[in-house]
Structures are given as C-alpha cells and as structure tokens.
Chains A and B, each alone.
Chain A
C-alpha cells in the first residue's frame, strides 16, 4: 500500500488473516503477550542556565532509546521496550535530587543523566539511597565517582583524566613542532571546573618546560573580555589556554579576533566553544585553528557519522552532550541485556562488570573501577577547513595538526 492511500476491504482482510495465522502458528509470543516495558529515568536540566546542554542531552538519550526499541528492545527480557520517563533538574542540584525520588517512585530501572557535575553529585547520592543504578552521562567532576557509591557509573572521562591527557598531548604537539611554545597565558572561569583545571595546569606545565605568564579568572557570566585581551596583548604569550563555558568562550575568542591578538596557538581544555559545530559555523574566522581537549567521537566509525547525520537532520548540532548521552543509554541497554533482569543489584553488577565495546568514542578497552570507565579518554580536536578534526590520538585522527598557526588575516 502506498503511503497516504486508504486501505481497501481486501487489504484489511488480507492483513487480518495473516495476523491471525502468525498469532497461532509463527510468533505466538509476539502477538499474545507483549513484554512489559522497562522504565528509564532520563534526567537533565532542560530549563534554567544549562537548558541548552540539557535539551541536547535529552535528544541524544531519546535517539538511543528509539534505536534500541526499533531493533527489538532488550531481547533477553522478551524484547521489552525501553520507556523513557523524562525529568527536568531545572539546572539545580536539589531539584535533580527530588526528581530522582519521583523517578524511583515511578519504578524506573535506572537513571541516565544529569549533565552537570554539581547536579550529578546530588542525583547519584539520592539514587544511592535506593541502590538505583545511575549512569552519569557527562558530569566530569572527580567527586562524582570517588565517594564509593556502588550505584554510580560514568562511561566518559573525568576532569583529572582530561586535564592530564590535555597536558600530555600539548607537550607532544609542541615537541613535534620543534617546541615553538614556551610561554602560556591561562584564562579560566571561576567555578570548580575552571579553577581546578587552572590549578592542575599551573602545577604541571612548569614541569614540562612551559612558563605560565599569567592566570586570569573570570566570572560567569562575563559581559566583556576587552581587559583580559589587553592583558594577553601585553603579556605576549606563545600559547593561550582558555577553560570556560560556551558563551564566555565565544566572547573571548571574538574579542581576540577583534583586537587582532597574535598567538602561536589557542589550546583549550574542555573549551566551551572549541569543539562546537555551532561556533565553527557561526564564527569560522574566530574558530580557525583553535585546538581543544574535549569529549569527542571516533570519526572513523560509521555509526558515529550516522548518528551525526541523524542529529543534524533533526536540526540539532552534534555536540558532545548528544553523543555522550546516546552512548550512556547504549551502555545501559547492554547491561540490561546481560543482567537479564531489572533488579537493582543485578543491573548494578552488570554495569560494573561491563566490557562493552560497541561505542562510538575514541576510548580504550572498557573496564570499570569504582564506577569509572578506565578506558575513557578525551581527544584533541582542531578547527581546520571550517570543520572539527581529531588531531590526536593519532589512531583516531582525521586531520593533521597545524601548529604554530598561520598569522591571522587583518
């Protein structure tokens, strides 16, 4: 039957007869008893200051659930479909914790979310009271997985891993280029993420032969970066390292472009905009050659590119929130498949023993230690030819690093 055409009496009869035959002969289980669905709490900050990231995160999780259900659900549980129960943490830890209670009352088998570290610390604690499995999608703060909670699992890397990887990669990139960068200027936002990142950078970079000229902390939000850029101009660093959120990242890099600041490279650690297709699309000149150590996908995997295309088809940017949440749900689905149960103990044990390797990320072998996937790691990206390319690790790279960067056009 063509789409949009009306069914005739004959086609209805044919379908009914075929259905009856299947029910009695071929697929008795399928038509007689549909397996109960498995409720999954999809908890993100879809309103409040993190609403953009929360919305992106929710989209990624729902795309995974849709794919799993379309592929037959959880087969070891009779093809049970995943049923997302949506929750909004409103960008507040206390609301996130209250939503965990609501989801637990509703009988969810597990929770996926909640994007921000501060919210994750509250929601994992709340879920732990019920031994409710909680897969943390992003929440990079180390405390998320260092409190001995046996219900908490993070497939993606934490901030310490990311910063150390970022420093190690920077040294390699600089060495390979003949060590053009000797001095560094750090600009970071004032919350735990930026402050901790700057602290580690200040401790580790001098050991690697870099001189940190200045470290400037700024508020969230910052309305104007002109003065910070004046200080960068006066200090004349070889390398600028920003660690801040998207809005401030864009303002900073645009002010750099406006004031025609010449540095040999901009190398971000978890840069808010550096690994953002939105930033690259809207401000290609400001974004050109920016390097970033961040969550990223494996550009060699067809599944990753298919998900990117699917995301863009929905009118969304393929941001790390999307693919990390997609991945978190897939990891949970694999654990459900192996646990053959939705009981909390069984599912927690299955999540903890996971060696799942069908992800779309540039990670090493999956192995969980105290709730953290030790195979997780970030990638180094660079904006090249108005696209975001992986430049390190080499085995995942899709572009060749350009460093030092060519002088900015005036």
Chain B
C-alpha cells in the first residue's frame, strides 16, 4: 500500500484537492483579516455560487469555467450588498452578534435552497469532467489540475491587489487601524463591503472550478467550510500565502493520512495538525494579517 507507485499519485491528488480548499479559504481569510468576522455563512455562499454555476450550465449551456465571468462579479455584488445591508447594518455591538448574524444568514440560505431546489444532489457532466492528464508519475484529473493552477493565479492576483493598488492599501489600512483609516478620509464602511465582496467573489471562482469535479446540494457548504476554517487558522488568519500553503498542506495530509491510517481515520490527521498549530503557533504559519 505504501509503494511509491501509490504514494506519489496520492500526494499529487492531495495537492490538487488542497488547491480547492485554498481557493475556498482565500475569501474567508480576507474577510477575517479586514473585518475580523468569522463568517459562518461562507459555506452557504459557496453553495449558492455552486447552484449559480449549475443553473448557468443546465439552463443556458454556459461552461463552468466561462461562468466565472458571471459568478465572480455576481459574488462580489452579493457580498458587497450583504455586508452593507445586513452584516454592517446590524454589526454595532459585540462580536458575538456578528457571529449570530452570519450563522443566521447561513441557515436562511440553506433552507431557501432546500425550498427552491429540493434536497436533491445535482451534478454536471462536462466533456472534460473525466479527462486525465498523464504526468509521468501519475494520471491526474484535468479539472483538478486546472483548480491547482487557478489557486496559484488567484492567490497571486489577490496578493498583487492588496500590495500594489490604492484599494489594497486602503484595505490594509482598515485592517490594521480602522479608526485611523477613517481619520485620513478612507470610507471604512465601503472598504469593509469591498473586502466582503472580494471574499465572496473568490467563492464564485471556487464554485466554477469545483463543480466539474464535485456536486451541489443545499448542504454542500458544510462539506468544505470546516476544512476552510482549518486552512485559515493553519495558514494564519488574514494571510493569502498562508491560505494557499495551508490548503495544500491540509490536502496532502488528508490524502497521505487517509492512505496510511485509513480513509476515515485520515480525517483526524487534519484536526491533529489544527490542534498542534493552536498549541505551538497560535498565529498560524504565516501569522501576520494580509501578508
């Protein structure tokens, strides 16, 4: 079982799955880094984005990757509006209030999905869903390789956005010192909403990359959200590099842990790492915010 012919493909599988986790965690870490919100609605927003990809494909024949042109802006608008009209509007007060608001949004979204789409699992079958690429040491699924490439590109793009643009500078200022940022004329509420919007736009992209290899149901967000939280904590809350490295690390750990300790017990390896990071490096691997 632990021969190189299995270990190497398993590690590559882990990397590609980890890239998906990283993509989902990118938005979560941005929202935490700027707004200091632990967004419990993240999984449900992913679910909503996956339904968006599904219906674009089923009703209009839009390819999932092409759907990014719709889902990324739509995710941004939805996130911006959600922050401005719901979370931001009710936020004043204690942090627990925000937790409850995002939890409430999650419950509402999940149940709306059950009401409108039923609890049924939906999948799409694109012409490339089952395509494999021969890397010499392993056969790897094409949609997964695309996901890995996209995770690298999106992380770099977000890093550039934050480090080299006026918007990025404003986001960093608000993340570090919102009162000071307000004093120098930055519209803090707008930057909060922009950050939430960008975080949700990341989910739109993640959904487009995920659906060719996975399914959507009203509860699919729960499949990924716990892993995404783990990735964010492991990588360092608010760190894009941390989200990428954390995602890949979790993916490989899950894959190899499953192979060595059994698929079911292998999941435990993820949470052992999680506990170890909390104990020995509570700020995560790349602990500074918005690095």
Which residues from chain A sit less than 8 Å from chain B, CB to CB? 46-55, 190, 216-219, 221-224, 226-228, 230-231, 234, 246-247, 250-251, 254, 257-259, 278, 282-283
B166 within 8 A of A: no
Q: Is the CB of B259 within 8 A of A227?
A: yes
Supposing A190-B264, A227-B10, A259-B139 touch, asked if A283 and B125 sit within 8 A by C-beta, the answer is: yes
Q: Is the CB of B118 within 8 A of A223?
A: no
Instruction: Report the bound CA distance from A49 to B10 in whole Å.
Output: 29
B163 within 8 A of A: no
Q: Which residue of A lies closest to B130 (CB)?
A: A258
Supposing A218-B264, A227-B255 touch, asked if A250 and B121 sit within 8 A by C-beta, the answer is: yes
Restricting to B1-33, which residues have a CB under 8 Å from any CB of A?
A: 1, 3, 5-6, 9-10, 13, 17
B 155-176 to A, binary, CB cutoff 8 A, 1 in contact else 0: 0000000000000000000000
Find B218's partner among A51, A53, A217, A250 (CB 8 Å cutoff). Answer: A51
Supposing A254-B130, A258-B130 touch, asked if A223 and B111 sit within 8 A by C-beta, the answer is: no
B180 within 8 A of A: no
Q: Is the CB of B259 within 8 A of A247?
A: no
Q: Is the CB of A217 within 8 A of B130?
A: no
Instruction: Report the bound CA distance from A254 to B219 in whole Å.
Output: 21
A–B Cβ pairs within 8 angstroms, 17 of them: A46-B119, A190-B264, A216-B263, A217-B264, A223-B214, A223-B224, A226-B17, A227-B259, A230-B6, A231-B259, A234-B3, A234-B5, A247-B217, A251-B214, A258-B132, A259-B139, A278-B120
Find B219's partner among A49, A259, A283 (CB 8 Å cutoff). Answer: A49
B215 within 8 A of A: yes
B262 within 8 A of A: yes
What is the minimal beta-carbon distance from A214 to any residue of chain B, in angstroms? 8
Q: A48: which B residues are within 8 A, CB to CB?
A: 219
B283 within 8 A of A: no
B183 within 8 A of A: no
B 227-256 to A, binary, CB cutoff 8 A, 1 in contact else 0: 100000000000000000000000000010
Q: A53: which B residues are within 8 A, CB to CB?
A: 119
Q: Is the CB of B123 within 8 A of A250?
A: yes
Q: Which residue of B lies closest to A284 (CB)?
A: B125
Instruction: Report the bound CA distance from A234 to B120 in whole Å.
Output: 34
7 smallest CB-CB distances across A and B, nearest first, come from A51-B119, A52-B119, A226-B13, A218-B263, A217-B264, A258-B130, A52-B120
What is the minimal beta-carbon distance from A191 to any residue of chain B, in angstroms? 10
Supposing A257-B130, A282-B123 touch, asked if A234 and B139 sit within 8 A by C-beta, the answer is: no
Q: Which residue of B lies closest to A187 (CB)?
A: B263
Instruction: Report the bound CA distance from A173 to B12 in whole Å.
Output: 39
B88 within 8 A of A: no
Find A224's partner among B13, B118, B217 (CB 8 Å cutoff). Answer: B13
Q: Which residue of A lies closest to B113 (CB)?
A: A51
Q: A47-B111, A51-B218, A250-B123 are in contact. List 4 more A-B contacts (CB 8 A).
A: A52-B121, A234-B1, A250-B121, A258-B132
Instruction: Report the bound CA distance from A228 to B5 in whole Å.
Output: 14
Q: B129: which A residues are within 8 A, CB to CB?
A: 254, 258
Q: A49: which B residues are within 8 A, CB to CB?
A: 219
Most buried by A among B224, B227, B263: B263
Find B114's partner among A51, A222, A224, A246 (CB 8 Å cutoff). Answer: A51
B258 within 8 A of A: yes
Most buried by B among A50, A227, A254, A257: A227
Q: A217: which B residues are within 8 A, CB to CB?
A: 262-264
Instruction: Report the bound CA distance from A86 to B45 in whole Å.
Output: 30
B291 within 8 A of A: no
Supposing A227-B255, A227-B259 touch, asked if A258 and B13 sit within 8 A by C-beta, the answer is: no
Q: Which residue of B lies closest to A52 (CB)?
A: B119
Most buried by B among A47, A53, A223: A223
Find A228's partner among B17, B218, B263 (CB 8 Å cutoff). Answer: B263
Q: Is the CB of A224 within 8 A of B17?
A: yes
Instruction: Report the bound CA distance from A250 to B122 in whole Å.
Output: 11
Q: Is the CB of A258 within 8 A of B123?
A: no
Supposing A49-B219, A234-B5, A282-B125 touch, asked if A259 and B132 sit within 8 A by C-beta, the answer is: yes
Q: B141: which A residues are within 8 A, CB to CB?
A: 226, 258
B 249-291 to A, binary, CB cutoff 8 A, 1 in contact else 0: 0000001001100111001000000000000000000000000
Q: Which residue of A lies closest to B132 (CB)?
A: A258
Restricting to B207-232, which residues have a CB under 8 Å from any CB of A?
A: 214-215, 217-219, 223-224, 227
Q: A228: which B residues are within 8 A, CB to CB?
A: 263
Q: Which residue of B lies closest to A50 (CB)?
A: B119
Instruction: Report the bound CA distance from A257 to B129 in whole Å.
Output: 11
Supposing A51-B119, A282-B123 touch, asked if A231 and B223 sit within 8 A by C-beta, the answer is: no
